[in-house]
Structure 1
Amino acid sequence: MSIGKRLAQRTADLAPVENNAPPPSQGGGSFTSPGRLLTTANRIVQAEDRAKEAEQLAADAKQQLDEALRRLADLEANKAASDGHGVEEVALSDFVEKPGRRRILSPVEREELKANLSANKLVTPVSYRLLPNGKKEIVSGHNRIDIYRNDLGRTTITAVRFEGTEQEAELAAAFANLLAPSLPDYEKYRQFVRLQEESGFTRADIITASGLSTSHVSRILAFEKLPAAARDAIAKRPDRLGGAAAEEFAAIAASGHGESVVKAIEALIGDEKMTQKRALEIARPKITRVSAPASRSITIGKKKLCDVTVRGGVVGLRFDGKGSDESAQKWAEKIEEFIKREIAAKKVA
């Protein structure tokens, strides 16, 4: 059972225990003030005991996380050892991959890594965890193994064994990705989710251990506010959308335009030339501009008296030239008299 579930179970009953004793009016005897005080004190003690137990479980979880990171650091130290202790050549056919653990590279990143591996000797060995069936589950180095196997036609690769549990391997792999400077924000979000699901650590634990700033974490977690279809599209090319743009897309989706967000993000992923700014413009609701109402001119002979416009239930008259204010007042009175006559005529009819 995960640490998170154990914490949930052991803290679920922190709510006050119901008092089943009958009230005095029902013949249950008097419930004195000292009795109430004793009951309340007992509940406080019980709650404190449960809280301490929950804190201990959280501390245990943090200790597991620290141990996984320590093992990863030790592994890195072994890789760098000059005597090559623990380093071996492993057949590529022996490796198996745990779904979701590999970091997704952009096409440019993959080509750069391929060129580097093709021209140079592998500096940092990959790491694996030995499975009961003899297969080697990749902990780090997924993309290097993939390129060696599928692009460079190699049959073996330099590797070192990770001495730890499955959970520790998962933590080590996730944090190795999470703390990589070049990791896209969506990949960091995915590692956050994996750490929570696989290890049971709380989000607060992960944020603290990662050392990421609050604003950076806010950008990373903006992806969870996007529609699922949008996240599916981003997963194919995490490098195409950053956390800052994800926050803006999330706000648009929250305002009721989720479908537009999905279409815009899918377009961004599918078109290398499209910018995030352009995708946001596509997603934002279009403002319908109301065209200015056409005005009609009333003339006396060849001379214009005024312009008439109708908009939003308002009839407007515009007089120009000398004496326009007096003309406007004069015609306003005439229009008022006309409307009153019309109303009176309808009443008579």
Structure 2
Amino acid sequence: MGIGDRLLAKTANVGTKPTEPAQARPTDSEPRTSPGRLMDAQNRINSAQARIKELEAQLEDKAALEVSLDSLIEVSGRRRKLTPEQFQELKNNLAQHALATPILVRTLPGDRFEIVAGHNRVAAYRELGRKSIRANIASIEEGEIEFAAFFSNLLSPSLTDFEKYWNFKRLQELTGLSRTEISESAGLSKSHVTRIFSFDLLPDAAKTALSEKPERLGSNAAQKLAALTEAGKAEKVTEAVRRLVDDETFTQDRAVALATEKQRTTAPSPTVIKRGKRKVCEVSSRNGVVGVRFFEKNATEAEEWAQRITEFISKSLGESSGD
């Protein structure tokens, strides 16, 4: 059962029949209660499903036409992210065979078209040097596109955890559902949804880098890196994520280890004390420990200096307490 079906089942007793269209309401009266938000989501799902059926009927009656690649507009965030291997496989297939399924577009002013489905096919055609592509044109509203695309992609097995995170965020924006409500509606555990939302706590620079190769970081490692970010290690986390993206041999465990490691401090150089040109001793300090090393191994002289140092410290402390 998909998330759309789960939302429908969850809201079956709220009071709105699935066959009823969503009622128009003022923009300043968004539902605030959980049942209200779920009912609103249900209405959006019903509308999206109805529009999909309408589009399917339209496409049965209309033949695909050739549209110029230069006339196509891609909406950021809607394109499915493929690995380089997956995209190359698609490109090789299209280089040898005709396009089996036309892309879907909607008409924009100025003889332009917005891509609804088929972004990767368009990208492959462009790299192959093609000038046009077969497309079906349908009438569909912006909100309907986003909502329908969301439910068709959200729980795809090939969807990476980072892409699921972005889709969950979009679901919140579309419906106002809380994370708990999302987990219940999607049939996922709260802990799983919490891990997915760990990406939200990563530094913006890290998320920007990760958007290039979202498959490089899973939610388990993301949760650990998010905790390190909150602990004040945002720069190290960003560095680790960039290493993941740039170096295919760099593992997620190594990324967490890189962000976890403490900053190394360089110990100050010891001070050498001389008598004339002859080195007598050196004084060093490290991790709160002060050490004196004599170059000439004279036990008696070392003991005398140890006594003098003890007397000096005691006297200094006494003078300080007297102040």
User: Shorter-chain TM-score category?
Assistant: 0.5 to 0.7
Q: Which residue of 1 aligns with 2:121?
A: 144
Q: State TM-score, norm by structure 2.
A: 0.65
The answer to whether residue 242 in structure 2 is matched with residue 266 in structure 1 is yes
CA displacement at 1:246 relative to structure 2: 0.7
Cα distance in 2 for residues equivalent to 1:211 and 1:74: 29
Q: Which moved more, 1:147-156 or 1:239-248?
A: 147-156
Deviations 1:180-228 (A, max 9, x none): 221111112112223333x344245655554444443223211001111
Distance in 2 (alpha carbons) for counterparts of 1:172 and 1:221: 22
| Residue type at the aligned position of 1:6 | S
Contact 1:186/1:241 (8 A) holds in 2: yes
- Residue 154 of structure 2 corresponds to 178
Matched, 1:126 2:103: yes
Structure 1 residue matching 2:157: 3-state secondary structure: coil
Contact 2:165 2:199 in 1 (8 A): yes
Find the residue that maps to 1:127 and give its secondary structure.
strand
Uncovered stretches (5+) of structure 1, i.e. residues with no partner: 12-50, 289-310, 314-341
**Structure 2 match to 1:257:** 233
The corresponding residue for 1:30 is none
Q: Deviations for 1:269-312, whole angstroms, at most 9, x for unmatched residues?
A: 11122111221111112398xxxxxxxxxxxxxxxxxxxxxx99
Per-residue CA distance 1:161-184 (angstroms, 9 max, x = gap): 2x4321011112233332322111
Counterpart for residue 153 of structure 1: 130
Equivalent position to 1:6, from 29, 40, 43: 29
Amino acid at match of 1:176: S
CA shift in 2, pair 1:56/1:145, >3 Å = same
Measure, in 2, the Cα distance between the counterparts of 1:286 and 1:4. 51
Please provide the CA RMSD for this pair. Answer: 3.9
Q: Judging changes above 3 Å, is the alpha-carbon distance between structure 1 residues 152 and 135 closer, same or farther for their aligned structure 2 residues? A: same
Q: 1:110 is aligned with what amino acid? A: F
* Structure 2: runs of 5 or more not aligned: 1-23, 265-286, 290-309, 315-323
The one of 67, 77, 80 equivalent to 2:47 is 67
8 Å contact kept, 1:2–1:200: no
Report which of the two structures shows the higher radius of gyration computed on alpha carbons.
Answer: 1
Count residues with an aligned counterpart. 253
Q: Structure 2: how far apart are the matches of 1:6 and 1:172? A: 23
Aligned to 1:36: none
- Measured against aligned partners, the alpha-carbon deviations of 1:10-40 in whole angstroms (never above 9, x if no partner) come to 75xxxxxxxxxxxxxxxxxxxxxxxxxxxxx
Letter in 2 for 1:61: A
> What fraction of aligned residue pairs are identical, expressed as a percent?
37
Match of 2:256 in 1: 280
Structure 1 residue 159: deviation in Å? 2.8
C-alpha distance in 1 between matches for 2:243 and 2:212: 13
* Aligned amino acid, residue 150 of structure 1: E
Scaled by the length of structure 1, what TM-score is found?
A: 0.60
1:200-239 matches, within 5 Å, as 200-204=175-179, 206-208=182-184, 210-239=186-215
Distance in 1, Cα, partners of 2:107 & 2:52: 15
